[in-house]
């Protein structure tokens, strides 16, 4: 097992977990429930970490995380859901109202 990503909050980590799920990379989160120990532990020791289970998938997992990070940092225009007509922030990959995936093009 190898660590592939760490961040200071679970919300940010969720996007990386979902990206790995989409490409079928088995992973787990270390320190998922330890944040309450901040103060007793150095805060960086309590940050959630994403680990890949199969080291043969390490390179693919790292690439997936890099692509996810780039996509998260890119400014994207709002988009209109083709299913329910709801306006969504450009950073959303699926509609917040009906959960349909964004359709590009």
51-67 pLDDT, tens digit per residue, is 999 999 999 999 999 99
- The per-residue pLDDT for range 15-51, each reduced to its tens digit, is 999 999 999 999 999 988 776 676 777 777 778 899 9
Helices and strands, counts by H and E, the chain: 2, 5
Per-residue exposure over 39-71, b if at least 16 CB sit within 10 Å of its own CB, e if not: eeeeeeebbbebbbeeeebeeebeebbeebbee
50 and 80 housed in the same domain? no
CA distance 78 to 28: 32
- In contact, 41 and 88? CB cutoff 8 Å: no
CA distance 48 to 104: 32
Beta strands 79-80; 87-88: pairing state: antiparallel
CATH number for the domain spanning 66: value is 3.30.70
44 and 6 housed in the same domain? yes
93 and 59 housed in the same domain? no
Per the structure, how many domains does the chain have?
2
- The per-residue pLDDT for range 71-98, each reduced to its tens digit, is 888 788 899 999 999 999 887 888 999 9
10 and 22 housed in the same domain? yes
38 and 89 housed in the same domain? no
């Amino acid at each position: 097992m190898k660590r592939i990503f760490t961040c200071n909050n679970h919300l940010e980590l969720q996007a990386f977990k979902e990206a790995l799920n989409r490409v079928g990379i088995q992973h787990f989160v270390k320190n998922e429930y330890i944040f309450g120990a901040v103060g007793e532990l150095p805060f960086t020791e309590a940050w959630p970490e994403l680990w890949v289970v199969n080291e043969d998938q390490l390179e693919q997992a790292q690439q997936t995380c890099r692509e996810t990070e780039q996509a998260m940092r890119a400014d994207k225009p709002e988009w209109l859901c083709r299913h329910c007509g709801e306006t969504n922030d450009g950073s959303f990959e699926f509609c917040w109202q009906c959960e349909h995936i964004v359709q590009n093009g």
